[in-house]
Chains A and B, each alone.
Chain A
Amino acid sequence: TQLLEQSPQFLSIQEGENLTVYCNSSSVFSSLQWYRQEPGEGPVLLVTVVTGGEVKKLKRLTFQFGDARKDSSLHITAAQPGDTGLYLCAGQDDYNQGGKLIFGQGTELSVKP
């Protein structure tokens, strides 16, 4: 059974601080996605990474896929209260598994003004 371990589970910081969320596995993933979810809503896709070592930036968010495609990180620079939410990483475990995503447990981020 493939697992994605996400850390930390909870993060409470002040506006303007930087933070990093980690997503680790012992298994290789063909692609990895990061989502943000707000209460009562479905997850919203932020980014997809597919190549080992890939780095993608989305404004103040930087996503990295590990060289071996087993881990990923999300770094937020100068966090703002609007960044508050549940951040989820999700991996597609096998080319043949199609739409099946394996999710990490999530990181609850709270950014205080």
Chain B
Amino acid sequence: KAGVTQTPRYLIKTRGQQVTLSCSPISGHRSVSWYQQTPGQGLQFLFEYFSETQRNKGNFPGRFSGRQFSNSRSEMNVSTLELGDSALYLCASSLKRVNNEQFFGPGTRLTVL
């Protein structure tokens, strides 16, 4: 079974631009969560989607948004990029929502100049 895939793996953007990241979960997994990982803050939860509905949201500004499609693939969008948005963005999928095991993709490394 293929794992979680994320595209692109690397991105370089400038301040003020917007970016869209994509995540394809493991086949059959309906829950997709997004996390931001930085050296200073570690892994922080962004949001979770289940059956195309946002079920949970972390403490990030409205510039961060996401969506999930009927095939469970998910995208996250960051608008008006800031230098502090430079991070590894990780997507994780799971079969269930509760007491579930989450499987992470390799991440997208975003650098904002």
Contacts and interface: CB of A to CB of B under 8 A. Distances in A.
Interface of A: 30-31, 33, 35, 40-45, 48, 50, 88, 90, 92, 95, 97-106
A99 B99 contact: no
Interface in B77-97: 90, 92, 94, 97
B75 interface: no
A98 B104 contact: no
B42 to A, nearest CB: 5
Given A30-B98, A105-B42, A106-B42, A99 B106 contact: no
Interface string B50-68: 1000011010000000000
Interface of B: 4, 31-33, 35, 42-45, 48, 50, 55-56, 58, 90, 92, 94, 97-107, 109
Nearest to B10: A40
A50 B100 CA distance: 10
Contacts of A31: 99
The 4 A-B residue pairs with the shortest CB-CB distance in the complex, in nearest-first order: A42-B104, A98-B97, A103-B43, A99-B48
Contact of A48 (B31, B35, B44, B101): B101
Contacts of B33: 99-101
B32 to A, nearest CB: 8
9 contacts: A30-B99, A41-B107, A42-B107, A43-B90, A44-B104, A48-B101, A98-B97, A99-B56, A106-B43
B100 to A, nearest CB: 7
Nearest to A103: B43
Contact of A45 (B44, B101, B107): B101
Contacts of A42: 4, 90, 92, 104-107
Nearest to A88: B43
B55 A98 contact: yes
B58 A100 contact: yes
A48 B42 CA distance: 20
